[in-house]
Amino acid sequence: MIQRTIFQGLIIVMTFGAVWFGFSQLDFMKFFKVEARTHELENELGEMIWDEISRTEDLVSNDTLTKTLDSLINPICKANGIERDSLKVHIIIKDEINAFALPNNHLVVYTGLIEDCKRQEALQGVLGHEIAHIEKNHVMKKLSKELGYSVLIQATGNGGGRLAREVLQSLTSSAYDRTLEKEADITSVDYLIAAKIDPKPMADFMYQMAQDSNMSDAMYWISDHPESEERAQYILEYIKGKKLKSKATLSDKDWKAFQDRIKEE
């Protein structure tokens, strides 16, 4: 009787172990195709939102200006192993001081931001910040948290126009949570250092934004003035003591010409 009980116990343990081992060998993300569906959803969202923007906003189509912006982005990508062709960069003619990332690697820059940056390195810092949001998958994390996965799926379905605008509003007028925002800031600084671009003007730009009382509270880059100062401070603290080698991407003359041409758009 005792031997039979022990035998039955062994059978149960072995069965449980076999089942556990079997489940441990499964790639659940692949098994349920969640990762593929999420990637597909991101692509659909990105193209849907960009289609909405491109139909309602004035875009810079001047090749000289888009190529100049590319020349500021390229060193960041090259030095950090980021595939430049994976980024879809757009310049929108708008006075607001803003830049933001969309799903599917879209990066939108307003002319108002380019005009307001006193130094080209400040603009590169902002661009690096947005590229970090893309590379770290912050865009979908933010949308999933704030709107919910089901809403994002609905937005890509029939009649998703209103929901598409809600998704766009979430990305253009509210900040990421502080953890993601700080990660993007520090990652951008690392990008700049690797590309031999001075990161200090990025911190100076944040101080500038915090001190300008005329700025709109709707724009996430400057939505919380005390927080902007805090971000500037931890950037300066992060680079303190680091040996920084930097060289301007554009000459002062070319940078000024770029800003002047942007103002004419």
What pLDDT was estimated at residue 2?
56
Q: Do residues 22 and 38 share a domain?
A: no
Q: Average pLDDT, stretch 246-260?
A: 97
Among 166, 171, 135, which residue's Cα sits nearest to residue 150?
166
| Domain span at 152 | 33-264
How many domains is the chain built from? 2
Mean pLDDT of the residues in the chain: 83
Q: Do residues 15 and 104 share a domain?
A: no
Q: Do residues 68 and 131 share a domain?
A: yes
Find residue 92's DSSP bridge partners.
59, 110
Asked whether the predicted pLDDT for residue 198 surpasses 80, the reply is yes
**What gap in Å lies between CA 115 and CA 122, rounded to an integer?**
11
Among 159, 45, 166, which residue's Cα sits nearest to residue 102?
45
Q: Do residues 250 and 226 share a domain?
A: yes
Asked whether the predicted pLDDT for residue 7 surpasses 70, the reply is no
Q: Do residues 89 and 181 share a domain?
A: yes
Q: Do residues 96 and 167 share a domain?
A: yes
Question: Between these two residues, 2 and 129, which has the higher pLDDT value?
Answer: 129
Q: Do residues 48 and 24 share a domain?
A: no
Among 18, 134, 23, which residue's Cα sits nearest to residue 76?
134
Q: Do residues 14 and 111 share a domain?
A: no
What pLDDT was estimated at residue 12?
60
pTM of the model: 0.82
Q: Do residues 216 and 98 share a domain?
A: yes
- What sign does the dihedral 154-160-163-169 (CA atoms) show? positive
Q: Do residues 202 and 140 share a domain?
A: yes
What pLDDT was estimated at residue 39?
80
